[in-house]
Amino acid sequence: MFEVAGLDHIYIAVSDLRRSELFYDRAMTTLGFHKNSFTLKGDPHIQYFNRHFGYVLRPARTARKHDNYAPGVHHLCLRVNSIDDVINAAKALKEAGVDAHPAKHFPEYAPDYWATFFSDPDGLRLEITNYRQERRERHDNWDKLLEREEPKTIEKG
């Protein structure tokens, strides 16, 4: 059996590659990402990457503002290790000229849920949250969690 271990890359289609590059240069380099660029099938691409995954910008084929409630991606959430990291990321983004909301506690999501939010030039919402206890326990105790799961019945129709 195999297991999906994480995201490899995310492709974001943007309405204005230069405008988005300026925004993501501030945001992603502040968050510790590196940058490169390449051309694929004649289209310029800009990639921001860290040791975990790549975040790639490519030109959109149609231009319209992102609608968080249309079919497709609602928002993207990046995770940092601690609540302090969320607070520091929000401050660093703000200092870099990114309109990030101050880090805030959201106990309605989870007792230890902290986050900051900001949007890219096309309106795609981005979030940074902390590595919460529930996520740590899920990761660290995965095999035990699977052992406790109730057997699933699949109905064929």
Give pLDDT tens digits for 108-127. 999 999 999 999 999 999 99
Residues contacting 48, CB < 8 A, separation 6+: 24, 28, 29, 33, 34, 35, 54, 55, 56, 57
pLDDT of residue 64: 82
SS3 content of the chain, % helix, strand, coil (to 5): 25, 30, 45
pLDDT of residue 152: 60
Give pLDDT tens digits for 32-87. 999 999 999 999 999 999 999 999 999 999 878 888 888 989 999 999 999 999 99
pLDDT of residue 66: 86
pLDDT of residue 147: 83
pLDDT of residue 146: 83
Name the DSSP letter for residue 69. T
Lowest mean pLDDT among 94-98, 133-137, 146-150: 146-150
Q: How far apart are CA 102 and CA 88, in angstroms?
A: 10
- Asked if residue 11 has pLDDT above 60, the reply is yes
Higher pLDDT, 156 or 59: 59
pLDDT of residue 150: 66
pLDDT of residue 156: 61
Is the pTM higher than 0.75? The answer reads yes
Strands 43-49, 34-40: pairing is antiparallel
